[in-house]
Amino acid sequence: MKVAYHSPLPPSRSGIADYSALLVPELAKRVEVELVRPGRFRRAPRADVFLYHVGNDPQAHGWIVDRLERRPGVVVLHEFVLHHLVAGRTLARGDARGYLDAMEREHGLAGRLLAHGVLDNRIPPLWETRPEQFPLAGDVLRRAQGLIVHSAFVAERARASGYAGPIWRIPHPAWPFPGAAPAPVRGQPLLGCFGHLNESKRIPQLLAAFSRLRARRPGARLLLVGALSERLARLDVPDGVVREDYVEERRLWSLMAACDAIVSLRTPTMGETSGSAIRALSLGKPLVVSDVGWFAELPNEVALRVPVDEHEAARLEEALELLAADAPRRESMGAAARALAEREHALATVADRYAAALEEAAGGAAVRDAVLAEVAQAAAEVGIGAGDEAASELAARLGEVALGAAFTVPEEGSPRR
Amino acid sequence: MQPSRGSATLRDSEIRRQLAPVRIAVCRPQVPFVRGGAEIFVDELVRRLRARGHEAEAVAVPFKWYPGARVLTQAFVWRLLDLSEADGRPIDLVVATKFPSYCVRHPNKVVWLLHQFRQAYELDRTPLGQFSESAEDRAMRRRVERLDAVALGEARKLFATSRNVAERLRRSVGLEAEVLPHPPQELPYRCDGYGDFLLSVGRLDRAKRIDLLIEAAARRRLEVVVAGEGPDRERLERLANGRVRFAGRVSEQELADLYARCRAVFYAPVDEDFGMVPFEAFLAEKPVVTTTDAGGPLEVVRDRETGRVVEPTVDAVAAALAIDEEDARAWGRAGRAIAEQVTWDRALDRLLA
């Protein structure tokens, strides 16, 4: 079976490019993969199924959605909120009408009026101020024959927006630990926060909580690693914070390996998965996360979840103190994190689940038709008509054993024991 | 009748036996004109349940798994059966055994798994597989997987006849099953000594790899008796070129005689589910020669303890077949001690618990 695989790839500096670089070699052991490159005049390859990785960055994913519009396929929805992508594919290409139409399709006339407000500079751009309220995922969902998501959060948002196709929840694969030695950074405890440090990472709240922790524990240090946004760069950084800008992959692992716990906060969430949280699981590091989106789905054994409300900084401080004070707890959370990474995020397992989803997507409808045709013929031969009770029972039984729909995906958590 | 006070000393299972006769439907697919281990197992299970005072009945539905989507439609036939009651009286328990009989619906469904549809799993993409690389065939295989996840997942309890079967189940659909082995068919097992021939028992198909035995035995000019019928017989007879006695389907008495007189038993299918042959051989105090990739038999055949376990090559098997009488006796007796631990009584206690 051949898959036409659409994704940003390295050297593109995108998390999804890294994701595909990790996944593709393993997936190619299971199905034939043709990597599709951007290019306006490229012809679509021949394939049994078309796979599109969709994220919110228009530069990385604009061409992929262009291809999706030409040919439907399975969409890997890395995040649910695609407002920035839609704005990039319309306004940035000089297509104001396209943006107005997209807003109206999903949010009615009020949406169109708001979009006009944006175009006339009367209100700030919605993709910067409140994109989570206007996710604009509808156009992508309408073209998706199936969805692959990483979290129940995104799956539920897709269903709530009316998506009726199959959804496969496939966890984000874990990067193999390259074996980097822990960096010589000391702290009691040593905490870390990694990634693009923008407004959604709750840096002010983290710094406030850390500074109170350090007042009690002078040995505490916080590694703050990653490019800071302009506004955050102006923040006062308390004592004990060690800053590093963007670091190469090996240095990133090395710094993470030195930490006692890793903080990965997020609000608002677009439904995305955190690459640094996944790395933390692989390393067996306890996590402190925001109680939102994908982060809220991490089990208690591996993560302390901090609600995003007016008590956020206080709760965060409590979580940091708990981990600082309780070494056995850090140990057990670390062991559970490693076990979770091996169980749910192992690359081979993820590739197996991709192969299963793609195989079902490619041939599932034909199988369904073949089964239904044979059952229907047998039913007709014994005089069961379309409106009969017996026909309803046939349909119910077919549904029960996953033979009734073109694709049937079991509800998460069932029926595994 | 209420049990007397004295009966409080009876074991729980015995009390259950006396107080709770139930109606049990034991389900199995039936390939017309074929009789093998599964059929023997179900018949014996029904007989044993009846001996305990239960009302038990085998329910069989013909099964054909080709071409195309027929594997799914034939499985679906089980889903339409109504085994909630029979003749106006409820059926209390359904025991399903192998694909696709476990697709049956029942509120008290217990599965004692002999095997799933192996062509969709460990045999896929091997010469013994069924599904091609076409998109439809690949999706069909996934549908079988999904069907298993639903039908086995809804069972009140899952047992597997061997660790091998349980492990396959866990790997394929993520379900955990308790391992519950069962004894072989009842025969007048005995040991009349250690004759100069090697015995193969079972259906003659490629997966049983009797060709390996024939070629290995020819190297050492050892006598071989092959008991059983199957589609591979003609090819095997050509390969044997008159050096092997093909006994065909034998009576129970003849089979017991063959076990009683042979030197050792060869049994090396590819990744077998469990296989009753090693237990049958052990009950006749005969060692078993098998291979490292045989699957279920490796749970009881241990190299130089209860037989020989060697690489699946003609050279290795040829060397392993040369077992002297002393070793054959020691290993056969050790095997018997293992086989005697597996009794219907124990198995039914767990099945009905």
Q: What is the pLDDT of residues B172-191, one digit of tens each?
A: 999 999 999 998 888 999 99
The C-alpha atoms of residue B13 and residue A104 are separated, in whole angstroms, by 69
Residue A183 is assigned to a structural domain of this protein? no
Q: Say yes or no to pLDDT of B212 above 60.
A: yes
Length of chain B, in residues = 353
Residue A175 is assigned to a structural domain of this protein? no
Q: Say yes or no to pLDDT of A415 above 60.
A: no
| pLDDT recorded at residue A412 | 44
3-state secondary structure of A73: strand
Measure the CA angle with vertex B229, ends B225 and B234; round to 5°.
Answer: 85
Q: Say yes or no to pLDDT of A41 above 70.
A: no
Binned at pLDDT 50, 70 and 90, residue B2 comes out as very low
> Is B174 in Cβ contact with A416 (below 8 Å)?
yes
| pLDDT recorded at residue B283 | 97
Domain boundary among A298, A316, A344: A344
Tell whether omega for the bond before A11 is within 30 degrees of 0, i.e. cis: yes
Q: Are A16 and A60 in contact (CB under 8 A)?
A: yes
B68 chain-A contacts, CB cut-off 8 A: 370
| Mean pLDDT, residues B291-301 taken together | 94
Q: Which amino acid is at A296?
A: A
Q: Say yes or no to pLDDT of B17 above 70.
A: no
| pLDDT recorded at residue B128 | 85
CATH entry, B197-339, from 3.60.70.12, 1.10.10.10, 3.40.50.2000, 3.40.50.1100: 3.40.50.2000
Does A380 reach chain B within 8 Å, measured CB to CB? no
Does A403 reach chain B within 8 Å, measured CB to CB? yes
Binned at pLDDT 50, 70 and 90, residue B131 comes out as very high
Q: Are A4 and A49 in contact (CB under 8 A)?
A: yes
Residues A12 and A124 in one domain: yes
Q: Per mean pLDDT, which range of A64-68, A389-393, B52-56 is the poorest?
A: A389-393
Task: Using the CB atoms, write b or e for B244-277: b if 16+ within 10 Å.
Answer: bebbeebeeeebbbbbbbbbbbbbbbbbbbbbbb
Residues A235 and A298 in one domain: yes
Interface subset of B 39-68, CB within 8 angstroms of A? 68
Q: Say yes or no to pLDDT of B4 above 50.
A: no
Residue A405 is assigned to a structural domain of this protein? no
Residues A225 and A354 in one domain: no
Q: Say yes or no to pLDDT of A416 above 60.
A: no
Tokens of A414: 């069932």
In Å, how far is A385's CA from the nearest CA of chain B?
A: 17
| pLDDT recorded at residue A99 | 97
Closest CA to B148 of B71, B257, B215, B220: B71
Closest residue on chain B to A364 (Cα): B139
Residues A122 and A74 in one domain: yes
A415 chain-B contacts, CB cut-off 8 A: 149-150, 152-154, 175
> Is A364 in Cβ contact with B173 (below 8 Å)?
no
Q: Say yes or no to pLDDT of A43 above 70.
A: yes
| Mean pLDDT, residues B309-315 taken together | 97
| pLDDT recorded at residue A411 | 44
The C-alpha atoms of residue A332 and residue A301 are separated, in whole angstroms, by 8
Does B72 reach chain A within 8 Å, measured CB to CB? yes
Residues A144 and A216 in one domain: no
Residues A302 and A359 in one domain: no
Closest residue on chain A to B171 (Cα): A349
Contacts of A122 (CB under 8 A, 6+ apart): none
Binned at pLDDT 50, 70 and 90, residue A385 comes out as confident
- Give the tens place of pLDDT for each residue, B242-283: 999 999 999 999 999 999 999 999 999 988 888 789 999 999
Which residue ranges make up each domain of chain B? 8-180, 197-339
| Mean pLDDT, residues A142-154 taken together | 95
The C-alpha atoms of residue B85 and residue B23 are separated, in whole angstroms, by 9
DSSP H/E element including A288: strand A287-290
Architecture of the domain spanning B8-180: 3-Layer(aba) Sandwich (3.40)
Percent of chain A with pLDDT over 90: 75
| pLDDT recorded at residue A410 | 46
Residues A52 and A129 in one domain: yes
Domain that holds residue A7: 2-169
SS in 3 state form for chain B? CCCCHHHHHCCHHHHHHHHCCCEEEEEEEECCCCCCHHHHHHHHHHHHHHHCCCEEEEEEEECCCCCCCHHHHHHHHHHHCCCCEECCEECCEEEEEECCHHHCCCCCEEEEEEECCHHHCCCCCCCCCCCCCCHHHHHHHHHHHHHHHHHHHCCCEEEECCHHHHHHHHHHHCCCCEECCCCCCCCCCCCCCCCCEEEEECCCCHHHCHHHHHHHHHHHCCEEEEECCCCCHHHHHHHHCCCEEEEECCCHHHHHHHHHHCCEEECCCCCECCCCHHHHHHHCCCCEEEECCCEHHHHCCCECCCEEEECCCHHHHHHHHCCCHHHHHHHHHHHHHHHCCCCHHHHHHHHHC
- Whole-number average pLDDT of chain B: 92
- Whole-number average pLDDT of chain A: 91
DSSP H/E element including A389: helix A389-400
DSSP H/E element including A342: helix A327-344
Q: Is the pTM of this model over 0.90?
A: no
Binned at pLDDT 50, 70 and 90, residue B5 comes out as very low
Residues A339 and A363 in one domain: no
> Is A415 in Cβ contact with B153 (below 8 Å)?
yes
Closest CA to B89 of B26, B17, B25, B23: B23
Q: Say yes or no to pLDDT of A115 above 70.
A: yes
As for how many domains chain A has, the answer is 3
Residues A21 and A138 in one domain: yes
Residue A230 maps to which CATH number? 3.40.50.2000
**Interface contacts (A, B; CB < 8 Å):** 98
Does A349 reach chain B within 8 Å, measured CB to CB? no
Tokens of B207: 């997966």
The C-alpha atoms of residue B177 and residue B162 are separated, in whole angstroms, by 10
Closest CA to B232 of B332, B344, B304, B128: B128
> Is B146 in Cβ contact with A367 (below 8 Å)?
no
| pLDDT recorded at residue B11 | 56
Domain boundary among A169, A203, A234: A169
Residues A206 and A159 in one domain: no
The C-alpha atoms of residue B119 and residue B67 are separated, in whole angstroms, by 13
Residue A65 is assigned to a structural domain of this protein? yes
The C-alpha atoms of residue A324 and residue A191 are separated, in whole angstroms, by 9
Q: Is the dihedral of CA A215, A216, A217, A223 positive or negative?
A: negative
3-state secondary structure of A230: helix
In terms of pLDDT, which residue wins out, A413 or B233? B233
Does B146 reach chain A within 8 Å, measured CB to CB? yes
In Å, how far is A393's CA from the nearest CA of chain B?
A: 9
Sheet containing strand A73-77, strands side by side: A32-36, A2-6, A49-54, A73-77, A144-149, A167-169
Residues paired with residue A288 on neighbouring β-strands, in sequence order: A263, A304
| pLDDT recorded at residue A48 | 95
Domain boundary among A139, A169, A199: A169
Residues A57 and A153 in one domain: yes
Residues A87 and A157 in one domain: yes
Closest residue on chain B to A407 (Cα): B143
Q: Say yes or no to pLDDT of B9 above 80.
A: no
- Give the tens place of pLDDT for each residue, B132-167: 999 999 999 999 999 999 999 999 999 999 999 999
Does B69 reach chain A within 8 Å, measured CB to CB? yes
- ipTM field: 0.77
- Give the tens place of pLDDT for each residue, A319-368: 999 999 999 999 999 999 999 999 999 999 999 999 999 999 999 989 99
B75 chain-A contacts, CB cut-off 8 A: 401
| pLDDT recorded at residue A231 | 77
Q: Tell me, what DSSP letter sits at residue A173?
A: P
| pLDDT recorded at residue B3 | 41
The residue with tokens 């590739």 is A351
| pLDDT recorded at residue B14 | 57
| pLDDT recorded at residue B18 | 52
